Amino acid sequence: MRITFEVNGTTQSADDVWPGESLLYVLRERLGLPGTKNACEQGECGSCSIYLDGTLVCACLVAAPQAHGREVRTVESFAGADGLDPVQQAFIDCGAVQCGFCTPGLILATDDLLARNPQPADAEIREALAGNLCRCTGYEKILDAVRLASARRVAGGDEPS
Amino acid sequence: MTAKSTAARGSTPTLPTHRPGADRGTTPAAGRIGDSVLRPDGVPKVTGDFAYSSDLWMDDMLWGATLRSPHPRARIRSVNIGPALALAGVTAVLTHEDVPGAKTYGLEIADQPVLAIDQVRYAGEAVAIVAADHPETARRAVALIEVDYEVLEPISDMRAAMTEASPLVHEEPTQDEYPGGGNILRKLRIQRGDVTAIADVTVTGEYEVGMQDQAFLGPESGLAVPTEDGGVDLFIATQWLHVDQRQVASALGLPPEKVRLSLAGVGGAFGAREDVSMQIHACLLALHTGRPVKMVYSREESFYGHVHRHPALMRFEHGATYDGKLVFIKADIVLDGGAYASSSPAVVSNAASFAVGPYECDNVQLDGYVLYTNNPPCGAMRGFGAVQVCFGHESQMDKLAIALGIDPVELRIRNAMREGSLMPTGQVIEGAAPVEQILRLVRDAPLPPDADLNDVDVRLMPGGVANTTHGEGVKRGIGYAVGFKNVGFSEGFDDYSTARVRLQLVGGEVSATVHTAAAEVGQGLVTVMAQIARSELGVDQVINHPADTTVGSAGSTSASRQTYCTGGAVKLACEAVREKVLAMAARKLGVPVDGAALDRGDVVDAEGRPLAALAAVLGDDVIEETREFHHRPTVPLTRVAGANGAIGQGDAHLQFAFAAHRVVADVDVDLGLVRLVEVTTAQDVGKALNPLSVVGQIQGGTTQGIGLALMEEIQLRDGLIRNPSFTDYLIPTILDTPPMQVHVLELGDPLAPYGLRGVGEPPTISSTPAVVSALRAASGRPLTRVPVQPEHITGT
């Protein structure tokens, strides 16, 4: 089947999609957007987090045909011509990236949190990121990164997206 | 319905569209040794551009899939691949008959079939492989392969496997290096002194450790591309390119030079990528089909596709004087190696070596056994044998402290190893052994405030937002532990690394290129290598060449050894380049060489005054040097009793690394739920080449130890894994992980490059017993098994 949807502001189509394919598979293997990661493919780890019509979801749990006609936003959209998003930069600056496999999902989850709650308390950060597994960092530097991104976004007057 | 893949991606590339290493590029951030330099791969990792092994893609590529045994022990009567081959879209179905070279492989002992031959020895063993045009087609083809099994009773109980009556997992001896007899793969004894010495107080204890999984996030994956010379290029996530190359080439029946490996992006490792997983299979399929083949394990398959941490049954007996000096220690350690050897012989050697802990004791008898069973194979995981015994010896020290009425930290300090102390193996501890210092640091660190029961935030209570308590039944416990292990490979292994460093002008700027085969798995070696080159060569611009097998082996990214060994090799290569540059400066420009150095792009004199610009010295010349770093030799442990009956003796280890933990836990003793309030770590790293990365390693390693203490276990029943998913195999989330204080000591090892000490493993070793100690303090329960279950805490 053919699936057409908007990805990062551009309308894209994938042909001959087997209806059992996940949105994650279509993004990674058919549309050349492997930044959304495939760590568990069962909705437990958050590595494949994306926005679907503005809602944070696990792309592995979305059947590809469900995305037809809708808007998808992935990690590949975060860096612009003027550089990295403050969330991305904060993850680098704080040492919150080691192997990096969880990072794209955490960038999305952090962006989603800060859009709802620009200055979250630590307990709120922990609740918001509890669906994103990281095996390398022990999460301390991820907390640092979220705090820094929050401060920079507030200081920079960055409007929640 | 047959799946058809019609790729929608661009033109045919000759290389994967996400060429490994292509985006790892230069490291613009200036920074030398001791600076908290940011990762050179940080930007591609946050933008999604970093090419992990599962991201690779080529036009015309096929997907591989693996048929695995559902039985832990069975004979194979027949395999019928016909129905699978008949499925539209299937290009190849291969069995052991299609393996052209060696039919078995292994890190130390080649006892594991590439594909099962006439029997299977664990549930999950690979039986056949398929290549098809879509992953779903490949999975369906796997399901169509007909295997006629004669199912046998599995040998899945460690104690039973040790008995003479037990059937054998391997009917033929797999090796003669470690004659153990029966299902014993290796046994060893370390004995020194007289364990019949009289002690005032004796405590015994039996302890058990469950099977932990490394649970890296990036699944086993890679892309094999057949080449015109009849060889294969493999883009792969691994810990050691050259040991993979050796095993792949052997199975393919090809000379190593026809099997070229490049490191793809690695999504964590922690020991689970030391052994081959899909490497040989993907290459077999690629050579058979003449097309690129990609294999990516699912999470479930990943639990079957790599080795795990050895489960352990341990018995300890500690004797001490009334004033708390250890008189003797006896230990029996039994490890379940599972169906194949992997690195088990080295793991059990470590377990015995470190069974006493970082304490002085003159009378020791330590017996280690590792067994073949029909359980999943076990091998390397962060901490490598030291983790299991640390849970044992630290539990014993707590028990002894109670028996003696001595504070548990004070008891440890009275027996603490120090510089000049003897290991149970008779090896003298050289360099700093700050056991007392790190214990005092964690003990004296400020404690977190008590929970405010008048204004309860349920998010900070055991049970969290499940709202199971507002403080009723919650008790706070504090626990301590200290541990240590070896850095680098031991027992006589020639553990070396190779580095090639090139210096030249690139766009008018002096640029150093560092080329090694060392696997960056997330730990930050790429950052450290560039820092070393900047420090040694006085340049800002350093390029990390992608890791591959066109340069000599770097050894394994394991045993906390890469900064020591590959860092040491980069240092040697840089020194060789520097020597040539200075000679060139003397020859070309008459610059005096005596006392000269390189700094900030100049040749400088002993006082740091510029003598000549490095760019002017180099001109169009290119200087390239390759060096190997071999750490000082170690020796195998003795296997024959020497003077006074001592055995298992010798300078088997290169370097020792120490860490201590304090854990503060709130425990709901009615429900058995736990919330860690805080963890404090103190560790000596010799010299922190990159302090930001060092702290990151300590926090991450500590968290894996927390996982083993509280939740992580591959649950087995009759050889079958009951929980092969992240739904059922739990690893700590951000809610499970407490704030962590980290105290980093830099005491300098005069025998190591830059004085550094390996960092990655020590925090994983002592955090587990420290957590359990805190739970014991809160609950009063003995808690002799990890992971601790709620019913162990409640006693129900």
What digits encode the pLDDT tens for the residues B725-784?
A: 999 999 999 999 999 999 999 999 999 999 999 999 999 999 999 999 999 999 999 999
Name the residue among B695, B683, B669, B654 with its Cα closest to residue B762.
Answer: B683
Q: How far apart are the first and last CA of chain B?
A: 52
| Residue of chain A with shortest Cα separation from B519 | A99
pLDDT digits (tens, 9 = 90+) for B612-638: 999 999 999 999 999 999 999 999 999
Does B48 contact A36 at a Cβ distance shorter than 8 Å? Answer: yes
pLDDT digits (tens, 9 = 90+) for B18-36: 433 434 344 444 699 999 9
Query: Does residue B609 carry a pLDDT above 60?
Result: yes
Test the A interface: residue of B17, B24, B46, B689 with most A CBs within 10 Å? B46
Mean pLDDT of B141-155: 98
Beta carbon pairs, A and B, within 8 Å:
201
Among A32, A93, A137, select the one facing B699 at the smallest CB separation. Answer: A137
Mean residue pLDDT across chain A: 96
Does A39 contact B270 at a Cβ distance shorter than 8 Å? Answer: no
Q: How confident is the model at residue B180 (pLDDT cuts 50, 70, 90)?
A: confident
Weakest-pLDDT range from B171-185, B278-292, B599-613: B171-185
Mean pLDDT of B394-411: 98
- Cβ(B79)–Cβ(B144) under 8 Å? no
- On chain B, the residues whose CB falls within 8 A of the CB of A144 are none
- On chain B, the residues whose CB falls within 8 A of the CB of A79 are 46-47
> Would strands B293-296 and B221-226 be described as parallel, antiparallel, or unpaired?
antiparallel
Which residues make Cβ contacts (< 8 Å) with residue A63, sequence separation at least 6? A19, A20, A21, A22, A23
At B173 the pLDDT is 84
Does B134 contact A40 at a Cβ distance shorter than 8 Å? Answer: no
Q: How confident is the model at residue B788 (pLDDT cuts 50, 70, 90)?
A: very high
Could you give the angle at which helices B344-353 and B386-404 cross, rounded to 10 degrees? 20
Amino acid making up residue B379 = G
Among B55, B457, B733, select the one facing A133 at the smallest CB separation. Answer: B733
- On chain B, the residues whose CB falls within 8 A of the CB of A16 are 4-6
Instruction: Give the whole-angstrom CA distance, residue B241 versus residue B220.
Output: 14
- Cβ(B217)–Cβ(A47) under 8 Å? yes
pLDDT digits (tens, 9 = 90+) for B225-240: 999 999 999 999 999 9
Q: How confident is the model at residue B1 (pLDDT cuts 50, 70, 90)?
A: very low
- On chain B, the residues whose CB falls within 8 A of the CB of A127 are 459, 465, 735
3 state DSSP class of B467 = coil
Does A39 contact B692 at a Cβ distance shorter than 8 Å? Answer: no
| Residue of chain A with shortest Cα separation from B524 | A98
Mean pLDDT of B391-402: 98
Weakest-pLDDT range from B46-50, B273-277, B590-594, B769-773: B590-594
Name the residue among B143, B164, B24 with its Cα closest to residue B87.
Answer: B143
3 state DSSP class of A160 = coil
- On chain A, the residues whose CB falls within 8 A of the CB of B38 are 92-93, 95
Mean pLDDT of B94-110: 98
| Residue of chain A with shortest Cα separation from B525 | A98
- On chain B, the residues whose CB falls within 8 A of the CB of A100 are 41, 45-46, 50, 265, 267, 522
Instruction: Give the whole-angstrom CA distance, residue B431 versus residue B605.
Output: 33
Mean pLDDT of B351-378: 98
- On chain B, the residues whose CB falls within 8 A of the CB of A104 are 46, 48
Among B5, B47, B54, select the one facing A78 at the smallest CB separation. Answer: B47
Task: Give the gap in angstroms from C-alpha B74 to the nearest C-alpha of chain A.
Answer: 30
- On chain B, the residues whose CB falls within 8 A of the CB of A135 are 214-217, 268, 270, 700, 704, 731
Query: Does residue B562 carry a pLDDT above 70?
Result: yes
Q: How confident is the model at residue B668 (pLDDT cuts 50, 70, 90)?
A: very high
Task: Give the gap in angstroms from C-alpha B594 to the nearest C-alpha of chain A.
Answer: 40
Among A42, A102, A141, select the one facing B696 at the smallest CB separation. Answer: A141
Assembly ipTM: 0.98
pLDDT digits (tens, 9 = 90+) for B594-608: 899 999 999 999 999
Amino acid making up residue B92 = A
- On chain B, the residues whose CB falls within 8 A of the CB of A4 are none
At B455 the pLDDT is 87
Mean pLDDT of B417-426: 98
Q: How confident is the model at residue B177 (pLDDT cuts 50, 70, 90)?
A: confident
- In 10 A of CB B157, how many CB atoms? 17
- On chain B, the residues whose CB falls within 8 A of the CB of A98 are 268, 522-524, 696, 700
- On chain B, the residues whose CB falls within 8 A of the CB of A140 are 699, 737, 739-740
Give whole-number Cα distances, B100 to B115, B162, B706, in Å: 12, 36, 45
Residue % of chain B over a pLDDT of 70:
96
Does A135 contact B460 at a Cβ distance shorter than 8 Å? Answer: no
Query: Does residue B478 carry a pLDDT above 90?
Result: yes
- Cβ(B553)–Cβ(B499) under 8 Å? no
Test the A interface: residue of B52, B140, B698, B734 with most A CBs within 10 Å? B734
- Cβ(B539)–Cβ(B511) under 8 Å? yes
Does B217 contact A37 at a Cβ distance shorter than 8 Å? Answer: yes
At B30 the pLDDT is 65
Instruction: Give the whole-angstrom CA distance, residue B778 versus residue B666.
Output: 8
At B26 the pLDDT is 43
Task: Give the gap in angstroms from C-alpha B791 to the nearest C-alpha of chain A.
Answer: 25
Q: How confident is the model at residue B174 (pLDDT cuts 50, 70, 90)?
A: confident
Degrees, nearest 5: CA angle B517-B523-B528: 70
Q: How confident is the model at residue B99 (pLDDT cuts 50, 70, 90)?
A: very high
Residue with tokens 């210096």: B503
Q: How confident is the model at residue B722 (pLDDT cuts 50, 70, 90)?
A: very high
Task: Give the gap in angstroms from C-alpha A157 to the nearest C-alpha of chain B.
Answer: 22
Among B8, B218, B734, select the one facing A99 at the smallest CB separation. Answer: B218
Measure CA B172 to chain center: 30
- On chain A, the residues whose CB falls within 8 A of the CB of B702 are 138
Does B726 contact A40 at a Cβ distance shorter than 8 Å? Answer: yes
Q: How confident is the model at residue A158 (pLDDT cuts 50, 70, 90)?
A: low
The better pLDDT of the pair B718, B11 is held by B718
Does B700 contact A35 at a Cβ distance shorter than 8 Å? Answer: no
Query: Does residue B11 carry a pLDDT above 80?
Result: no
Mean residue pLDDT across chain B: 95
- Cβ(B349)–Cβ(B368) under 8 Å? yes
Task: Provide the token pair at B731.
Answer: 């690893």
Could you give the angle at which helices B562-589 and B525-537 cross, rounded to 10 degrees? 30
- Cβ(B76)–Cβ(B306) under 8 Å? no
Give whole-number Cα distances, B664 to A73, B397, B589, B772, in Å: 41, 18, 64, 10
Instruction: Give the whole-angstrom CA distance, residue A91 versus residue A150.
Output: 12
Does B267 contact A37 at a Cβ distance shorter than 8 Å? Answer: yes
| Residue of chain A with shortest Cα separation from B764 | A138
Test the A interface: residue of B47, B238, B557 with most A CBs within 10 Å? B47
Does B218 contact A28 at a Cβ distance shorter than 8 Å? Answer: no
Test the B interface: residue of A101, A102, A142 with most B CBs within 10 Å? A101
- On chain A, the residues whose CB falls within 8 A of the CB of B701 are 138
- On chain A, the residues whose CB falls within 8 A of the CB of B20 are none
Does A41 contact B299 at a Cβ distance shorter than 8 Å? Answer: yes
Q: Which helix (H) or strand (E) holds A125?
A: helix A122-128
| Burial zone of B596 (CB within 10 Å; 0-12 exposed, 13-18 middle, 19+ buried) | buried
Does A136 contact B43 at a Cβ distance shorter than 8 Å? Answer: no
Instruction: Give the whole-angstrom CA distance, residue B520 versus residue B20.
Output: 12
Does A107 contact B46 at a Cβ distance shorter than 8 Å? Answer: yes
pTM for the whole structure:
0.96
- Cβ(B493)–Cβ(B690) under 8 Å? no
Test the B interface: residue of A4, A140, A143, A144 with most B CBs within 10 Å? A140
Tell me phi and psi for residue B222, to 5 degrees: 175, 175
Does A38 contact B296 at a Cβ distance shorter than 8 Å? Answer: yes
Residues B624-650 as b or e (16 or more Cβ within 10 Å = b): ebbbbbebeebeebbeeeeeeebbbbb
Q: Respond yes or no on whether the N-terminal peptide bond of residue B255 is cis (omega within 30° of 0).
A: no
